[in-house]
Amino acid sequence: NVFPQLANCLLEKLVLSNNQIIQVGEATFRGAVGLKHLDLSGNRLQAVPSEAELDLSQNFLSSLPSDVFRDLVNLNLLDLYMNRLTELPPDVFRNLINLSELRLDGNNISTLPSGVFHTLVKLQDLELSHNHILELHPALFTNLMSLQNLQLAHNHLKQLPEGLFHKLQALKELHLDDNHISSLHPSVFHGLMRATTVSLSNNQLSSLHPDQFRDLSGLKELKLDRNQIVKLPSNLFTTLGKLATLDMGNNNLTKLSFHSFEGLKKLKNLPLQPCFFSVEALMMAFV
């Protein structure tokens, strides 16, 4: 009850960031019915307060009790960026049915339970980058039909299971940069017709299926740089009529087919360096 007047005021945001707070008592914010955002980032917390919306970024949290967010039904944003989390209880987000943004980036998470996000039907932004994730269950994102931004960059992914993204019909941005992905299932991106950005920079891709990007008709930016791609299948980009940026730099391309870039009517940026083919071959690819 350190803030006894909160019960009688209209306070919506309380910032306590960048202090040396180690612990917050269970009744600290009791009665603060109007509080919508509580910022406790940059402290030294090792346990999670359970009575308010929280920015818990840059603390020392290494684990989360399965019922820690049980009463936060109206939570919109949960920020756990830059903690020490290694795993998540399967039902830790079960009651967060109104959550729209979840930040888990900058932790040490290596695995994700298959149903950990199943109740987050209103989630729009999911940050999972800069962890140690090795693999993803095919049904991990099945119920995230409102998701617009998915960040999976800087992990240790080697492959993406078939059907992983098929239910993400609202997805606009997909970031898979800086992983160890060596191959892609031909249909892994099928259904992502609203996607505008797909980034696969700095992986280990050596080839692409002719139907790899078939459904990405709304795509405006595709980043395939810093891979090991040797050849582009004919008609690979035929359906990408809105694509403005295609980054193919730092690959192993030595040859272009007659229709390598067919269909790219709005293309403005095409980084290819350093690739080793003649100017004549490049001109022929755009005929």
Q: How many CB atoms lie within 10 A of CB 282?
A: 15
Q: Where are the beta strands (DSSP E) in the chain?
A: 13-15, 37-39, 54-55, 77-79, 101-103, 125-127, 149-151, 173-175, 197-199, 221-223, 245-247
pLDDT tens readout for residues 108-162: 999 999 999 999 999 999 999 999 999 999 999 999 999 999 999 999 999 999 9
Tokens representing residue 243 in the block: 């694509």
CB-CB contact of 173 with 200 (8 Å): no
Q: pTM of the prediction?
A: 0.82
pLDDT of residue 286: 53
Instruction: Render pLDDT for 193-203 as a digit per residue (tens, 0 to 9).
Output: 999 999 999 99
- pLDDT tens-digit readout, 55-104: 889 988 899 889 888 878 878 899 999 999 999 999 999 999 999 999 99
**106: phi > 0 → left, psi -120 to 50 → alpha, else beta; which?**
left
In Å, how far are 8, 80, 87, 212, 230 from 250, measured between CA atoms? 61, 34, 35, 20, 11
> Among 68, 70, 29, which Cα is nearest to 52's?
29
- What does the DSSP 8-state code read for residue 4? G
- pLDDT on residue 249: 93
Which residue's entry shows tokens 């459904």?
Answer: 215
pLDDT band at 52 (very low <50, low <70, confident <90, very high): very low
In the chain, the domains with their CATH numbers are 157-287 (3.80.10.10)
Closest CA to 78 of 90, 86, 69: 69
**Spatial contact of 45 and 21, defined as CB atoms under 8 Å apart:** yes
pLDDT for 12-49, tens place per residue?
A: 778 888 888 888 766 666 555 556 667 777 888 776 55
Per-residue pLDDT tens over the stretch 210-261:
999 999 999 999 999 999 999 898 889 999 999 999 999 999 988 776 678 8
pLDDT score, position 279: 45
On the question of pLDDT at 282 being above 70, the answer is no
Q: Is 154 exposed, middle or buried (0-12, 13-18, 19+ CB in 10 A)?
A: buried
